[in-house]
Structure 1
Amino acid sequence: MTNPDLLLPSDDGLLPGAGSIGAMLRAASGQEPVLIGKPSAILMDYALRDLGLAAEDAWVIGDNLATDIAAGKAAGCGTVLVLTGLTTADNFEAYAEQAGCRPDAVCGDLHELRSYISAFIRR
């Protein structure tokens, strides 16, 4: 299974994600799927090795605490949450508790992310 996302945001509201399909297959087969994508570190570690990067030299940017940020944390990378997806300012605390992790930085939107990256690069 690539990721456990039950829901994905779209212009028309939330849609079923890969986790919904995985839950259906788990229920039908009685077998636990192998998770290779977020929040597992398997693909993250592979990408870091392939790029020749140490985890501490890479940042994971995403809009979902339970998958994107949890994957970055599992791989030992820095993390930035952008509040443009499933995780919002209103549900942040509940999702952080549910995910068991917190990002290193939070940006409200992509413009704020761009400013954050620009400021980070100038250091």
Structure 2
Amino acid sequence: MKHYQSYLIDLDGTIYLGKDKIPAASSFITQLQTQKIPFAFLTNNSTKTPQQVVANLAMNHDIKVEPQQIITPSDATAEFIKQQNAKSCYVIGEQGLKTAIYNQGIEYNEINPDFVVVGLDTDVTYHKFEVATLAIKRGSKFIGTNADTNLPNERGLVPGAGSVISMVETATQQKAIYIGKPERFIADYALEKLHWQRSTTAIIGDNYHTDIECGLNASIDTILVYTGVSTKEQVAQFKQQPTYQIDSLHEWSL
């Protein structure tokens, strides 16, 4: 078992299940903090700002961290758009995504934006889909925050951002440019922002198709914990295996 110098840790399904705590999570984070091992949360959830994520962790899961320890697909998407020198966007998404993008000075545009960005939106409407579809048909570039079809919470596996994005893909007959896990971009963004070394960092997560494939795509070691989406039976079928597999964060020795 390798001892890593830093960890990128998933949230949904790894640290909590919606409003429900995952028992080992809080003690694992406390161990990292006690041993002064750097860590950050690498989430695929674009709905909340880092400040809102921090507040949720503190109030509901007994975990106290700083906003700079939260890496979201919203921030990574905003950075990607910034690198493209975009001037305007139309966004389907919630506060976390809209704040990250529009705080960059990007203008709101429904007609001919440089980019249409689609993320999880629990109040999505036909009108929003219509605006996004027409803009993409007119030539706007199409970004999806992440491809998660489902999101684990206390009720089970509910629709994720990928389910919303797929409707726009179907309507436009165009594949989105994805930013979040499992894409390499968000992992590279996190390492650069945090000034961490790739070879001494591990990604911890519960979903093979997002967390583990992100590590594989970015050449970062992975630790799959069976507390969320993926099952041992599913993972056994894949040619590329996680670096490590555990049933609980209690099993991981720092």
TM-score normalized by the length of structure 2: 0.42
The amino acid across from 1:23 in the alignment is: S
> What is the SS of the residue equivalent to 1:5?
coil
Could you tell me how far 1:93 is from its partner in structure 2?
Answer: 1.9
Look up the match of 1:117.
253
CA deviation after TM superposition for structure 1 residue 14, in Å: 1.2
Contact 1:65 1:101 in 2 (8 A): no
1:17 — aligned with what?
160
- Work out which of the two has the higher radius of gyration on C-alpha atoms and give 1 or 2: 2
Aligned length: 111
CA distance in 2 between counterparts of 1:21 and 1:117 reads: 38
Higher strand share: 2
Name the residue aligned to 2:205: 62
The structure in which a higher percent of residues are helix is 1
Matched, 1:107 2:243: no
Whether 1:76 and 2:252 are equivalent positions in the alignment is no
Superposition pairs of residues 30-45 of structure 1, within 5 angstroms: 30-45=173-188
| CA shift for structure 1 position 37 | 0.7
TM-score of the two chains, using structure 1 as the length reference? 0.82
Shift of 1:15: 0.2
- Could you tell me how far apart the structure 2 residues matched to 1:42 and 1:92 are? 24
* Unaligned ranges ≥5, structure 1: 119-123
Larger mean Cα displacement after TM superposition, 60-69 or 85-94: 85-94
Q: Give the 3-state SS of the residue equivalent to 2:224 in structure 1.
A: strand
Q: What stretches of structure 1 move > 4 A for 4+ residues in a row?
A: none
The answer (yes or no) to whether the contact 2:203–2:212 under 8 Å persists in 1 is yes
Task: Quote the offset at 1:52 in angstroms.
Answer: 1.8
Cα shift at 1:26: 0.3
Identity %: 39
Query: Secondary structure of the equivalent of 2:177?
Result: coil
RMSD over aligned CA atoms reads 1.4
